Amino acid sequence: MSKKLRPVLIGTLGAASVAALVITTPAFSSAAPAPLAPAVASVLAAGDLAAPAKKEIAMKLVSSAENSSLDWKAQYKYIEDIGDGRGYTAGIIGFCSGTGDMLELVEAYTNSVPGNPLAKYLPALRKVNGTDSHAGLGSAFESAWKQAAATTAFQTAQNNERDRVYFNPSVNQGKSDGLSTLGQFIYYDAIVMHGPGESSDSFGGIRKTAMKKAKTPAQGGNETTYLKAFLDARKVIMKQEEAHADTSRVDTAQLKFLNEGNFDLHTPLKWKVYGDSYTIN
């Protein structure tokens, strides 16, 4: 949710693919098959965070950290300035008026529903993009956001932008890296907070830092070792900014699941964020 200002969007993420690895595996014969190499076995066993039940879990996990609630669908109408220099933060993924993703959302929404309550604020959103300014927005814009959020059309627009910019790229990259459902979620939560991009404090930069310390499963590495390197690299970035300095969403949630070996995010899930306890049965 709290992306850095003006993140550079990732294009096609990763070149490795499960299919390429599957093709190279030996054909089965009447004899007992040779065991798969660790890298191949890891990728073949990778989960799918995009499966409906797992995606629902992912939405709840992120909402617990971003909104102190498991009711992520209640966040369509959420909007406030949290004082992090990114202007307004709003909606199910924390679209920010200062980072470009809120502007892209309202543009996409307006393309689908031209007469929507937010359309008239597009000029103001373009002007404040890259800043924390509320010029031309203010309380009237907040009311318009909440009005729009009551409609199926704007809820759908939020879902689509979440998936296009954050969820699909992170899950696809996780699968290319041979990561489990948990690993894919760890990528998703990171891209939500830090934004897509290749700078050192974006998702791509954090991944590059981790890969200097450990190999991904697709490269033949151990997933636990790699994910711990990724989370360590992420925590360094989180601690550089006061708004993100509390790393409990990593320490008492993601690392907890990793240490428990819960790679498929099976329920029940129990975790804490900012000292608050949550459970998904």
For this structure, is 104 an active site residue? Answer: no
Q: What is the pLDDT of residues 38-88, one digit of tens each?
A: 443 344 446 899 999 999 999 999 999 999 999 999 999 999 999 889 999
pLDDT at 117 over 80: yes
Selecting among 48, 56, 66, 232, the annotated active-site residue is: 66
Q: How many residues does the chain have?
A: 281
pLDDT-wise least confident of 4-13, 21-30, 205-214: 21-30
Q: Over pLDDT 70: what percentage of the chain?
A: 84
| pLDDT of the residue at 244 | 79
**How high is the pLDDT of residue 172?**
97
Catalytic residue among 84, 101, 161, 189: 84
Instruction: Tell me whether residue 84 is one of the annotated catalytic residues.
Output: yes
Residue 88 phi/psi, 5° resolution?
-75, 140
Q: How many CB atoms lie within 10 A of CB 254?
A: 25
Q: Given a cut of 50, is residue 100 above it in pLDDT? A: yes
- Is 103's pLDDT higher than 70? yes
pLDDT at 27: 34
Contact yes or no for 214/226 (Cβ under 8 A): yes
| The residue to which tokens 């964020």 are assigned | 273
pLDDT higher at 34 or 120:
120
The per-residue pLDDT for range 147-200, each reduced to its tens digit, is 999 999 999 999 999 999 999 999 999 999 999 999 999 999 999 999 999 999
Residue with tokens 């696809």: 172
Task: State percent of the chain over pLDDT 90.
Answer: 80
* Residue-averaged pLDDT of the chain: 87
Answer whether 86's CB lies under 8 Å from 134's CB. no
pLDDT of residue 11: 34
Give me the pLDDT at residue 14, please. Answer: 37
